[in-house]
Amino acid sequence: MPTPAETPRRRGGVFRTKSVEQSILDTDEPDSKLRKDLTAWDLTIFGVAVVVGAGIFTLTARTAGNVAGPSVSLAFVFAAIACGLTAVCYAEFASTVPVAGSAYTYSYATFGELVAWIIGWDLILEFALAASVVAKGWSQYLGTVFGFESATVQLGSITFDWGAVSLLAVLGVLLAVGTKVSSRVSAIAVAIKLGVIALVLVLGVTYFKASNLSPYIPPSQPADDGASGLHQSLFSFVTGAGDSSFGWYGLLAAASLVFFAFIGFDVVATAAEETKNPQKAVPRGILGSLLIVTVLYVAVTLVLTGMVPYTELAGENATLATAFAIHGVDWAKTVISIGALAGLTTVVMVLFLGQTRVLFAMARDGLLPRWLAHTGTRGTPVRLTVIVGIVCCVLAGFVDFGTLEEMVNIGTLFAFVLVSVGVLILRRTRPDLPRGFRVPLVPLIPILAVAACLWLMVNLSVETWLRFLIWMALGFVIYFAYSRHHSLLGKQQTVAKD
C-alpha cells in the first residue's frame, strides 16, 4: 500500500500533484536554498507594511463621502471579516506547507500542476501590476512632500516617471541584499506611518462631534457614476440591477470597495520558507497584522466622519487632509503626505518580495527556467530580483495604468478562492499532515470565505473580467508550450515509469 505522501504524486498529466513532503524537501537544495532569518514579529511588520498604505489617507474619505457616509467604519469591519475568513485558510496552509510560493505551492499540493501554474500566473499579474501601480502613487506623493510639481520628465511623446523607477531600483537592491535588511527598513517606514496615523487620531479627536455620525447609515440614493456597458460590475450586467449609494446597499458596496485596502496580507505567506519557526510564526504574522490594520482603519474612519459631516467629503479628491483643511489645519496635508510616502514605500517593497518568491517557487519546480531559482551566497534569488525590478521599472516608468488597477483585485480574489477550497481538499486527502494552525469550524469557514470572495469578484467590472480571462488564456498557452514539458515533477514521473 502506498503511503499518504506517495499517493498524490501518482496522479499523472496536467493534474499531477506534488506532495507536501517533496515541496519541503526541495527547500534544502544547496543551489536554491533561502536563508531563514524572519520571525513572527518580522512577518507582522511585513503584513502591516503592505496593507496600511495610502489607502488609509485617501480611500477612507472618498468612501465615506460618496458611498457609505459614517457607516464606512462598519464597512471596514465587514471587509475585515471577509478577509479574516481567507486569512485563517492561508494560516493553515502556511503552517502545513512552509514553502515559498504561497497560493501557487498550496495549489500544487491539492489541485495539481495545471491549476498551480494558473494561480502562479495569476499571482505574477497581481504582484507585478500592484508594485508598479503603487510605485507610481509613491512618485506623486514625492512631489507633494518635497515641493516640486512632478517626479516625471517628458521624453518626446513619452512620459517617464523617474520617481517610481528610483524607488523600485533602491528596493530591488535592498531585497537582493537580504530579507532581514528589508524587514528592518520596513520597520522604520511602518513606524513613521503609524506615527502619522497616531497624530491624525489625536488631533482629529479634538474636532470630533458625535452629531456628525448621525444618521450612521444615510438614506439610499441612486449613484451617479456613469457606469455602463463594460464599465459596470458583472453583477449589474447580468442582473440588470442599478447601482446606489448610501443605505444598506451602499454599505455593502463600500465593504466590497474597502476590502481591497486589506489586500496584501497573503504576501506574508510567501515568506514562510525564510521564517525560523514557520508553523507558529506565519499564522501569527498573518492574523496579527490583519488585526492591527483593522483596528487602525476603523479608528481612522470613526474620527474622520466625526470631524466633519460626510457630505463635506464628497468628490474624487477628498482625503484625510480635506477634513483638517475644513477646520483650518492646512499643514496636516504635508504630514499626511509624509505618512503616505512612508506607507507606499513598504507596500512596494513587500509586493516586490512576494513577486520574486512566487517566481522562485515556479522556477524551482521547472515550470519556469530553473536557472532563475539560483540563490547564491546571500540566500536570496538575486537573478529574479533583478529581472522583476527591470520589468516593474518599465511598467511604472512608462505605462499609464488607468483601469488596469482592478486587475490586481480580481487576481487576488481568485487566489483567495483557491486557497480556501484547497484547505478542504487537503484536510480530506492528507489528514495525517501536522498542522501548526487549524481553521476552526471546517467546512463552514472555508465555504464562507469562498462565498465572500466570489461576491466581491462579481462586483468588479465586465472590462476587468474580460482582461483577466485573456491573461489566463495566455497562461494556458505558455504552460502547454513550455512548462508542461520542463516540469521537474513530470520528468521524475517519467523516470519512475521507465
pLDDT per residue as tens digits for the range 246-302: 777 778 778 877 876 787 777 777 777 778 888 788 888 888 888 998 999 999 999
Q: Kindly give the interhelix angle for 332-364 and 382-398, rounded to the nearest 10 degrees.
A: 130
Closest by CA to 214, choosing from 298, 300, 306, 297, is 306
Residue that the C-alpha cell 512618485 belongs to: 139
Mean per-residue pLDDT of the chain? 82
Q: Which three cell numbers stand for residue 389?
A: 525590478
Lowest mean pLDDT among 65-69, 82-86, 233-237, 240-244: 240-244
Interacting residues of 395 by C-beta distance below 8 A, sequence separation 6+:
128, 129, 132
pLDDT at 367: 93
In tens, the pLDDT along 12-37 reads 578 888 888 888 787 777 676 777 77
Query: What burial letters (b/e) apply to 352-383, b meaning 16+ CB within 10 Å?
Result: bbbbbbbbbbbbbbbbbeeebbebeeebbbbb
Specify which residues 154 forms β-bridges with: 159
Is the pLDDT reported for residue 8 higher than 60? no
Lowest mean pLDDT among 9-23, 157-171, 308-322: 9-23
Is the pLDDT reported for residue 99 higher than 90? no
Q: Of the ranges 124-128, 290-294, 443-447, which is most confident? A: 443-447
pLDDT at 447: 95
Give CA–CA dist 433/427, Å, rounded: 9
Confidence class of residue 477 from pLDDT cuts 50, 70 and 90? very high
For residue 12, give the 3-state DSSP assignment: coil
Give CA–CA dist 121/103, Å, rounded: 11
Give CA–CA dist 432/441, Å, rounded: 18
Give CA–CA dist 168/131, Å, rounded: 9
Burial grade of 329 (CB within 10 A; 0-12, 13-18, 19 or more): middle
Is the pLDDT reported for residue 58 higher than 60? yes
Give CA–CA dist 267/280, Å, rounded: 16
Other beta carbons within 10 Å of 143: 15
Closest by CA to 46, choosing from 260, 289, 343, 408, is 289
| Phi, psi dihedral angles at 432 (to 5 degrees) | -80, -15
pLDDT at 3: 43
Specify which residues 160 forms β-bridges with: 153
Q: Kindly give the interhelix angle for 462-478 and 113-146, rounded to the nearest 10 degrees.
A: 130
| Phi, psi dihedral angles at 461 (to 5 degrees) | -70, 155
Task: Quickly count helices (H) and strands (E) in the chain.
Answer: 20, 4
Q: Do residues 448 and 424 touch, judged by C-beta distance below 8 A?
A: no
Give CA–CA dist 184/42, Å, rounded: 8
Give CA–CA dist 378/178, Å, rounded: 7
Closest by CA to 436, choosing from 285, 302, 315, 318, is 285
Is the pLDDT reported for residue 4 higher than 50? no
Contacts 24+ apart (CB under 8 A), 218-225: 218/69, 218/70, 218/71, 218/246, 218/247, 218/250, 218/310, 219/246, 219/247, 220/244, 220/245, 220/246, 220/247, 220/248, 220/249, 220/250, 221/245, 221/246, 221/247
Is the pLDDT reported for residue 401 higher than 80? no
Other beta carbons within 10 Å of 128: 23
Is the pLDDT reported for residue 68 higher than 70? yes
Confidence class of residue 235 from pLDDT cuts 50, 70 and 90? low
The bridge status of strand 221-222 relative to strand 152-155 is unpaired
Stretch 417-432: mean pLDDT: 89
For residue 414, give the amino acid letter.
F
Q: Do residues 349 and 58 touch, judged by C-beta distance below 8 A?
A: no
Closest by CA to 243, choosing from 262, 223, 258, is 223
Domains for the chain: give ranges and CATH numbers.
37-491 (1.20.1740.10)
Residue that the C-alpha cell 516640486 belongs to: 148
pLDDT at 390: 94
Give yes or no for a cis peptide into 219 (omega within 30° of 0): no
